[in-house]
Structures are given as C-alpha cells and as structure tokens.
Structure 1
Amino acid sequence: MAARYDRRLSILDGGWGAQIGPDLMFQQLEEGYDEGPDNVALICTHQSWGHLKAIVGEEPVGGCLTWTYRQLMKAARDLAIVWEGYGVERGDTIVAFLPSCAEWALGLWVAAILELTFVPLDPMSLAVNSGREQAYPLDMLRTSIVLVSNIRDAYNFDELYPDLKTSARCKIVCHEQVDFFFRGWINLQPEETYRLRASNAGDKPHRLGSEDRAVADDRVAVILFTQESSQHRPKGCPLTVHNIRTALVNQYILPQQRYLVTCPSSSSATLETVMVAWKRGAAVVFPGAVFSAQMTLSAIELHRCTRLVCASLQLEELIKDPSRSQRELDSLESLSVGGGVVRAGLLALGQHALRTQWASSFLTMAEGFGVLGWRSVSLTDRTLESVGTVMPGSMVKICPAVGRNGHVLSRGEEGRLHIGGDAIIQEYLGEAPNGHFYQDSDGVKWFVTNYLATMDKNGLICLTTQLKSSEPVISDDRS
C-alpha cells in the first residue's frame, strides 16, 4: 500500500509494483512469444533479408531483415546452445559493442535464456582515438562473450582491453568476414553448427522447472553505463531482474504496435522500449546503424510504424527533413521523446510535423527507468509539459537543489528531483562514486538526479533544467 503524504508537498509513493517472485528475464520475452509466435518481432531496415539465414533456419520474409517471434526465439535458442559449447555459464557477461541490429537483439535474448548479464556498449568507444583511461571497467565483470561489428573494432578491443584479449571465451565479429581464428576472433554463424541443431528444433527452449525458477530477484540482468562528461570514466549501473520487471509491469500496449527506435543501442531508452515491446508481443523496428532522418521517415512509411521513440535532437532533424511532407505517415499514432529536458514547443512541432495523435516526453536513465509515466491509457490525461507521474513500485520527491534531502518542497516549487523504489539500482558498479545515492530515516533508498523539476497539484512532474554533472551535496538531514 502506498504511503500517504501531505498533498501540499512534492512527494509521491506509487505503491506496490512488481511483486518479489521467481520470474526470470526469459519469462518477460516468453510472454511476447505467447501473444503470437508468427507475429513480427524485429525489423532491421539496414540489414538484408538473407542476413543470418543460417541461424534463423526459416526463410526470412520481406525486403529487409524481418523476423517473427518464432524465428527470433529459435535463433536465440540455437545460439545459446552453441555458446554453452564454448563454456559460457549462468552468471557470465556478454558485452556488445554494436549498433541497433539483429545481432544486438540476439545477444539480449540469449542473455535472457542463459541468465547472462547483457552489457550494451557504445560501439564508437572502440574508435582509434579512444584512450584506455576512458575505457569501460570490464575487468569487474565475468566477460565471456564479446560482440563487435568489424575487424577494426576487434583490433581496437584487443588494444583497449588486453586482459580480456585471451580470457573471453568467445570473441565474435558480427558484420565482417574474418579468417579462421583471426587473433582468437570468429564469425557469428558457423553454418554447419546450426544445420546440425535444426533437426532438434522446437518452437521454444525447454521451459525451466520449478527448481530452476527459484532465482534471486537481485540477479544482475543488464548493466548500462553512464558518463558525466568526456573527462570522466563511465560508471556502470547494474539493473537487476526486479528493477527491470518493475519498470515493465505497468506498460500498456497492444501486440499490433510497431515501435521504431532511433535512440542509441547502449541507452536506457532503447532497452526499455524493446523490453516493453517484446514483453507484449509487439514489433521493434531499427531503421539504421546510425541515425538518419530520411531512413527513419522511410521506415515509418514502409513498415507502417505506430510509435516513434527518439531523442530531442533527432526530432529536430525529422522536423527539418525536406522529404517529410511527401511521406505517408498516417500509421504513426504516438511520439515519445527523451534526452534531457524536452521543451513543450518542440513536442508540439513534432506532433504537428509527424501528424501523430499524441506526443510526450519521458525520463529514462541508466540508473533506472519506468519511474515516471502515465497511469491512464487515456490520451486526454497527457500534457506536453510533463513527463508523467510516479508509477507503481516507485517514489518521487522534489527537494532543495543543494543539501537538505529530508526537506520536501511544496507543490509548484522548483527543486531537485529525487527518485526511489524498486526500479532504481542500489549503487554504481565497483568503486565509482556513489554520492547520488542515500537512504532516509525510514529506510527508503533514493537517487538524486541532475534535474530540476516541479510537481503540480495533480502529481505531474515537469522537468525544468538539466544541471551540469557533479556529485550532489548530501547533508546529514535525511529524515
């Protein structure tokens, strides 16, 4: 039951979220499969129809890579068997230096099946000019699988992460052919292996027995990295099964939806969107390895996308694109924009330009997502100025910008946004500074965001300013 607070104060308790239980990450994806095995699960407009045909096993459809839930499940299951053959075990880590693509999706599904930790990373971090001091702290993880796009990235990975050069069980180049045992790197699809597996193929992997379902809710399912600036090292955010399940349980969508996602593959926005879509049996559309306004608009038109999830800078490019007025965009129902403080004026322009029924901004961070949103499915309850209200399983409050975390401001006053609850991580990975986290006198754990915000009389949150990254001053007043 939600705690009751003075409605004049900027604090809200969303009440119970996802109940603690034995649910696995795989079960979240399994729910989407059960909505319809032959529903479309994934479309990658920048990858050809025959790409990874040996792994999928069935004849792909369409002019670009288009997989059903049955095909994606089969490919992930067979790939899981192959990786187990390399010695990959439950609790290991798969790191993916990949753009949004079919291999990225397979990595996430295999991680769910084998109960691995999935770590999506910015592929541009493997650029030649990247310094080792800016590298991800992968030495803290049980890294067994490494996925990169091409041979250049494979070389650079070995230079940046010499300790993992030989310790990783399987290093895979996904988008370029490599010679046999090139510096220990292999290609993703050894065709003869998958042909041998095909005779044993069923619709789904074997369902785990009850003894296997007693898995701790605190198992780390995904690690996202956040970076304050180019001068700071990335900080890892270990999201547990319970964190993710809490964020997904309150999402309302229909299986017929098609989500077009243009956010970076390593972002929390992409993770949240694909997990919500695949849990509900909807389709995910990736329009390119890098953002292109023209390719995005083309994908909306060609694949009849219903929901667009993008960043504010990307929306500006879509609005300015000269080809937009010639596109048939009537399938698009909604526009969701993330990436800091999104101005209502930009949302209004985007809604008009793309001719969507509604538009909204959202707050999602590597430290946790699904904290704020819209409890009602009614579009009339949504406003362009707000990122929503607190969702079940979460808590929010507005406090002074510096110090005095126990002091809650009145409704309408601007202050720093604090978030808590089951969707938020407990701390950063390893020895990264944890000054953003604290626990109040009631035992509630909070995370201090870098956003100034207000809460109105209806409990709607409006982000006003994104502060420059810095460790907040945590005072002794935590009541």
Structure 2
Amino acid sequence: MFVTDQLAEHARTQPEKVITSFKGKDTTYKQFLKQAQNLAGYFQAKGYQKDDRIAVYLPNSDYFLVCYYACQLGGYAFTPVNTKLTAPEVEYIFTHSEAKALIYEERFEPVLNQIRPALEHFHDRLQVGGEATLETVISDDSISFHEGTVNPDDTTVIFYTSGTTGKPKGVMLTASNVRAVAQIWSEAMDITSSDRVLIVTPLFHCAASHVFSIPVIYKGGTIVIEEAFSPEQTLNTMEQAKVTIFFGVPAMYSILLNTPKMARLDLSHLRLFTYGAAPMPYELVKKLKALYLNVKVQNLYGQTENSPAATTLKDHYALDKIGSVGEPLPQTQVRVVDEDGNDVPPGEVGEIVVKGPQNMKGYLKNNAETYKTLKNGWLYSGDLGRLDEEGLLYIVDRKKDMIIRGGENVYPVEIEEVLYQLREVLEAAVVGVPHQVYGEVPKAFIVLKEGQTLTAEDVIEYCRPKLAKYKLPAAVSFIDALPRNASGKVLKNNLRTSVGV
C-alpha cells in the first residue's frame, strides 16, 4: 500500500479523527483526503501528467501537507522550495525543475517580483490568500478526481539539496521511497494512531515531512504544526496540544532548556524527544533526561538522498553512546568502506554507504552525480564514519565539508562562489566554526588582490542579497595566502585549526 492508500483507509475507518492542527484549525482525515483529491483533480482537469512537477513555495501549514498528498495521489512530483532562499536561489529551482505549476503564499510576492521572467513558464499559479486561491480549489467539491495508476518507480517528490558544486541538486524520490520511509520511521519510533507530533522545523526539509509527518499520518496519528520555532509558543503548544513526540535540532533543545517555563509545564503526555542534523552535547541529553524521566531521547541520522533514513540511536544508548548516530534502521543496511568499496574493520574510518528501499531514484537531470552516488544499490553518503564493535555508527567528519548551522545544511562552496564575485577577492575559503547556539556557523577566509582593501562588514553586506540569511558568513578573516597541499588543494583542516577547531 502506498501512503495515499493508508490515508484513504484512515479516512474510511476514522473519518472524524484530526489529521492536522494548525493555528487553531483542526482538519479531519475525511476533510484532508477530499482536499487533496480536489487539488489532484484540478491538475487532472488541466491536463497534467505523471511526473509533472508542482513547485510548492509555502511555509509550514496544513496546506503544505495537502499539496504533498495531492501530488502523491496524482503522481505529480511535489517540489518544495526553501522559503529562506533569496530570489536568485528560488529562480534556479524554478528553472531547473521545469515545474509546470506554482503554489505559493502571498507574502512571497516581493521575492517573486524580482524573478518575473522565471514565472512565465508556469501553466498555473495558485496563491494562498490571493485571487486564484488554493483555498478555492481544495474546497470545490464539484471537482472530480480519477484514481490513476501510480507506479512504485514514479517520481512523486523532488527535494532540492545543495551539492559540492554549489548548485542545488534535485533529489528524486519515488512513491515506493515514500512508502518505505513511512514504514521505516513508524517502526523505529513505535508510532501509533495515538501519537501527536509537533512540527516546528521547516516542512520543506525532508526531516519534518518524511521522518515525522508522513510516518505519523501513515499510522493514523495527528500532526500539530507551528509555522516556526518560538520557545514560549512551542512550549505552550507542547502542553496544550498534548504532544507525544517532539523533534528539534540540538540548538532548539538548548534554548528550551534555558526557558524557565519548561520546568513548570505539564508534559506528562510526552513520550519521545528526538533530535538530528547535528550532534547533541552530553550535558544537554543528561539535563533533558533528568528533567523528564519518562520521556525517551532518540537520535536520527539520514540524508535527503535516502529519504532521509539510515540509522537511529535509541534511548537505551542515549547517554552511554552519546557520540553515535546508532544502528541501521529497519529494512536498511549500513557499511563503512574504503576508497575501493571494501569494508573497513571496526574502529577504522571510511565512507558511510547505505542500502535500502528508501534510497533515491537519482538526481534530476544530473546523471554524472547520480552515478557517483549510487553504486550497485548502495548510496555513497560522502560522510566519513566508523563502526564500533557493537555495530554502532559514529560520524567522524563530513567528507563534503558541509556546515550544519542550527539544523540547516550550508555548503561552503556556495558561499565561496559569491565571495569570488567581489572584485577585490583573489582567493576565498569557507569552513564551519563552533557556535554556542547554532552548533556551527560559516567563517570566511579571504586573500585580497594586491592593493585592495575590504572590511568584514563589506563582505557580509555584499553577500546579504545573494545568500539566505543562515548561509551568511558569521565572521571573516583576511589572510596572506590559503594553505594548500602539493596538488594545490586548499587545506581546510588547517583553517579550522587556526581558529581552534
């Protein structure tokens, strides 16, 4: 059964059960299914075919998930757009994906106004809160939806994730990938129809959507949605909505544990704290477990390319194996290999490779990167790690030099490309440096051309309109030369060492 089959089954057996709760509005399974069918039927009537891409430029909301399931029903490729991106970054995704329709919120008009030519290829534009509204379509019960044939290998989701080239890559996930990730995570977290998960991280990232929303709906539970993380509001919702599962990046837990209100709330309904995207400090986990004795703590690891689902560290290891990302998930194999693809012994470092039904179909219009990443059914993660004697996985380094800032992936080369646009810059390199709240932030090292001058403020202000806020360099150092090895490769480890990393 695909995730849409499960949705239809829940709408039949528990039609009045709440599936989503957002800003005081509860939507039942019966209502939600009808809304998704109406939207899918709207595109059918317009002549859309399987694999046509639907760009969804929305913040966290119940509508985001309605759009997701409409695409699953119709076999369209749901293509979410990160709402934090700048106009040029959004334009690239629109153009590269060749999306036929755009669903967006009115507040993003200022961004869209900067890239009007890129909007001309859209056959349809549906706005939340505008004239041709999404609300009108999903509430129009005169629309007919015809069950089509969605095949397991049909692309139904495309998540854009930045790559080492600096340009985002479209990760194509199939109907069977989505079904697999729903099964995998619902089993790994023992999800039932009684669960109520609180979503505060962006749904346009696959963690909030694929690790939590889709698995919980698959089991008939409830998704409580907040537009964004706000400590006081998040805690209020956690208590009032009787949330059973919460997911946050470590920075969020740090903030929550320093919010006095947290210790006073009745969170007796909570059963699971989950985290991912960055390591959780030992003291933070210890404090969390001491404060909530009956709440389990679970670490999650995966990548967009595997839906994301690779390993998990269960509660019984939460403190004893704090540096680990755990053991392979159900239906999943994980190995650590050398440059030739051979397993390395326990304790030795190699590249992490993953095999399972959740592995992506490939990168959209990028066969070269697909062939590098998928080999004989194994997904080569680009992350370096090691296995201990018990088979638990540890991330040692990010092979691709990725920076994780408060749960957001930042790729240095993307920032470097912008820095090289400054006429004063001869060379530039970006590395991640520790930050008390965000875990890591980007720091730029710049070599100026002879006779040129720049300040750190000049550099950051230049980057501001070209990069999303979370990608902006937090610090800039000017140096005489970048350290390089004999083959000319920049030694980023040396740069990290220079700032005490």
TM over 0.5, yes or no? yes
Instruction: Report the Cα distance in structure 2 between the residues aligned to 1:353 and 1:276, rounded to whole angstroms.
Output: 28
Instruction: Report the Cα distance in structure 2 between the residues aligned to 1:278 and 1:364, rounded to whole angstroms.
Output: 20
* 1:154 corresponds to 2:109: yes
Figure out how many residues of one structure are paired with residues of the other and give that number.
396
Higher helix share: 2
* 1:243 corresponds to 2:177: yes
Alignment match, 1:76: 36
**What is the CA-CA distance between 1:450 and the residue it aligns to?**
3.9
Alignment match, 1:476: none
Aligned partner of 1:109: which letter? Y
Alignment match, 2:133: 187
**Contact 2:302–2:311 (CA under 8 A) maintained in structure 1:** no
Instruction: Report the Cα distance in structure 2 between the residues aligned to 1:119 and 1:356, rounded to whole angstroms.
Output: 38
**What is the CA-CA distance between 1:68 and the residue it aligns to?**
1.4
Alignment match, 1:437: 372
Aligned partner of 1:269: which letter? A
**What is the CA-CA distance between 1:158 and the residue it aligns to?**
5.0
**What is the CA-CA distance between 1:117 and the residue it aligns to?**
0.9
Identity %: 18
**Contact 1:340–1:363 (CA under 8 A) maintained in structure 2:** no
**Contact 1:98–1:149 (CA under 8 A) maintained in structure 2:** yes
Please give the residue correspondences for 1:413-452 in structure 2 after superposition, counting only pairs within 5 Å: 413-431=348-366, 434=369, 437-438=372-373, 444-452=376-384
**What is the CA-CA distance between 1:259 and the residue it aligns to?**
0.7
- Between 88-97 and 290-299, the greater mean CA deviation after superposition: 88-97
Task: Give deviations 1:372-410, integer Å, cap 9, x for gaps.
Answer: 3469xx95476653333223443211134xxx2423211
**Contact 2:373–2:381 (CA under 8 A) maintained in structure 1:** no
**Contact 2:200–2:225 (CA under 8 A) maintained in structure 1:** yes
* 1:352 corresponds to 2:290: yes
> Taking CA–CA contacts closer than 8 Å with sequence separation of 6 or more, which of the two structures ends up with the larger relative contact order?
1
Please give the residue correspondences for 1:320-399 in structure 2 after superposition, counting only pairs within 5 Å: 320-353=258-291, 356-369=294-307, 371-373=309-311, 380=316, 385=322, 386-399=324-337
**Contact 2:3–2:218 (CA under 8 A) maintained in structure 1:** no
Instruction: Report the Cα distance in structure 1 between the residues aligned to 2:371 and 2:90, rounded to whole angstroms.
Output: 21
User: TM-score, normalization: structure 1?
Assistant: 0.74
**Contact 1:135–1:234 (CA under 8 A) maintained in structure 2:** no
Across the aligned residues of Structure 1 and Structure 2, the Cα RMSD in angstroms comes to 3.1
- Secondary structure of the equivalent of 2:334? strand
Aligned partner of 1:266: which letter? F
- Between 355-364 and 108-117, the greater mean CA deviation after superposition: 355-364
Please give the residue correspondences for 1:267-346 in structure 2 after superposition, counting only pairs within 5 Å: 267-272=205-210, 273-287=212-226, 289-346=227-284
* 1:412 corresponds to 2:351: no
**What is the CA-CA distance between 1:219 and the residue it aligns to?**
0.7
Alignment match, 1:232: 166
Cα distance, 1:38–1:466 mapped onto 2, change above 3 Å: same
**Contact 1:43–1:66 (CA under 8 A) maintained in structure 2:** yes
**What is the CA-CA distance between 1:258 and the residue it aligns to?**
0.5
Cα distance, 1:187–1:117 mapped onto 2, change above 3 Å: same
- Secondary structure of the equivalent of 1:108? helix
**Contact 1:35–1:255 (CA under 8 A) maintained in structure 2:** no
Instruction: Report the Cα distance in structure 2 between the residues aligned to 1:279 and 1:380, rounded to whole angstroms.
Output: 26
Please give the residue correspondences for 1:140-219 in structure 2 after superposition, counting only pairs within 5 Å: 140-151=96-107, 153-157=108-112, 159-160=114-115, 162-163=117-118, 165-174=119-128, 176=129, 178=130, 180=131, 186-190=132-136, 194=139, 197=142, 208=147, 212-213=148-149, 215-219=150-154
Instruction: Report the Cα distance in structure 1 between the residues aligned to 2:308 and 2:84, rounded to whole angstroms.
Output: 27
* 1:223 corresponds to 2:158: yes
**Contact 1:134–1:232 (CA under 8 A) maintained in structure 2:** no
Aligned partner of 2:391: which letter? G
Task: Give deviations 1:441-463, integer Å, cap 9, x for gaps.
Answer: xxx23333243322223322233
Aligned partner of 1:90: which letter? K
Instruction: Report the Cα distance in structure 1 between the residues aligned to 2:224 and 2:287, rounded to whole angstroms.
Output: 23
Cα distance, 1:323–1:344 mapped onto 2, change above 3 Å: same
Task: Give deviations 1:35-81, integer Å, cap 9, x for gaps.
Answer: 5222221111xx3xxxxxxxxxxxxxxxx011111121122223333
Aligned partner of 2:219: which letter? R
Paired residue for 1:456, among 388, 391, 399?
A: 388
Cα distance, 1:131–1:257 mapped onto 2, change above 3 Å: closer
Please give the residue correspondences for 1:6-85 in structure 2 after superposition, counting only pairs within 5 Å: 23-34=1-12, 36-44=14-22, 47=23, 64-85=24-45
Cα distance, 1:338–1:31 mapped onto 2, change above 3 Å: farther
Aligned partner of 1:447: which letter? L
Cα distance, 1:236–1:370 mapped onto 2, change above 3 Å: closer
Cα distance, 1:304–1:133 mapped onto 2, change above 3 Å: closer
User: TM-score, normalization: structure 2?
Assistant: 0.71
**What is the CA-CA distance between 1:140 and the residue it aligns to?**
4.0
Instruction: Report the Cα distance in structure 1 between the residues aligned to 2:318 and 2:276, rounded to whole angstroms.
Output: 16
Cα distance, 1:161–1:460 mapped onto 2, change above 3 Å: farther
**What is the CA-CA distance between 1:136 and the residue it aligns to?**
3.4
Can you give the 5+ residue segments of structure 2 that lack an aligned partner in the other structure? 403-410, 413-501
Instruction: Report the Cα distance in structure 1 between the residues aligned to 2:286 and 2:385, rounded to whole angstroms.
Output: 20
- Secondary structure of the equivalent of 2:360? coil
**What is the CA-CA distance between 1:86 and the residue it aligns to?**
3.8
